[in-house]
Amino acid sequence: MTHRFFEGKDHASIYQKYRFAPPDEVKDILLRYLDEKKGQPHVLAVDLGCGTGQTTRLLAPHFKEVVGIDISECQLEEARAVPGFSNIEYRKGRAEELPFSDGSVDLVTASAAAHWFDHSRFLAEANRVLKPRGCIALLSYTNQNNSLSYQNCGEQLNSLYEEVKQLLMPYTSNIPEAQCNSKLEELYSAIPFPDKERIETEVKSFITLKNLVGFIETLSMFQTYKEKDPQAANDLLLNTEKRFLDEMGVTSPDTEIEWTMEYFCVLASKPK
């Protein structure tokens, strides 16, 4: 199954601007796991479905070399344009056909991406390229159990956000979306390594209203809606920002909102 989302140039530049890296709590979970299972040295990490490179860059200080792989050349162009990461290489490719020799990779990651892959072909490739005790770390947040809060109007903001999600729901690609919301249940069961676990964690952070509206714009369901009706999609973003400002009683889209998100990590280590 191949999904051709995230391919357009506009989508890629919005992605670079508004998609955020996984929080440090999540990065620490996967690095601790790798240390515990495989230990040092951390030579090569491969970040699949790297998009514009948010997670790839997060890994860079912890490995000798990091390779980001994505099927979308536009996403990769944005990733390559970020300066200052001399140990990262970005390559066009797919998670199901990895350009690495057998037993050569310490860590394979995919952040908010594994739900798009062909699971059995991806797992066969991960198994092939990983070193003994090398690890898989698939991370993401779900589209559920998230909540927004600003002073005493959290409930109103959550119901506004829910309204936007409901409006966009008909434009989701149902299978990957459901897989992500089930925290990759099927993929987790299919991992052929006995040593595996799934960790969930709630992370609180702050996001400006402007960036929250930008995040909505990055969603593949929003992009599908925009293709069908560009004017309505544009109006949705403007109205959402306006309605949030009214509820919060402020005028600046730079006002910060607290956002609690549920993240999960599917972790597995290849046998010796």
Residues at the site binding ligand SAM, with contacts judged by CB under 6 A: 3, 6, 19, 48-51, 54-55, 69-72, 75, 94-96, 111-113, 116-117
Of 244 and 263, CB closest to ligand SAM: 263
Q: How far is the CB of 106 from ligand SAM (least distance, A)?
A: 18
Cα–Cα distance, 157 to 203 (Å, whole number):
18
Of 141 and 244, CB closest to ligand SAM: 141
Q: How far is the CB of 235 from ligand SAM (least distance, A)?
A: 24
Q: Are 47 and 143 in contact (CB under 8 A)?
A: no
Of 137 and 157, CB closest to ligand SAM: 137
Pairing of the two strands 256-269 and 65-70: unpaired
Q: How far is the CB of 252 from ligand SAM (least distance, A)?
A: 26
Q: Are 11 and 218 in contact (CB under 8 A)?
A: yes
Of 56 and 269, CB closest to ligand SAM: 56
Q: How far is the CB of 214 from ligand SAM (least distance, A)?
A: 13
Of 218 and 240, CB closest to ligand SAM: 218
Tell me how long the chain is: 272
Q: How far is the CB of 22 from ligand SAM (least distance, A)?
A: 7
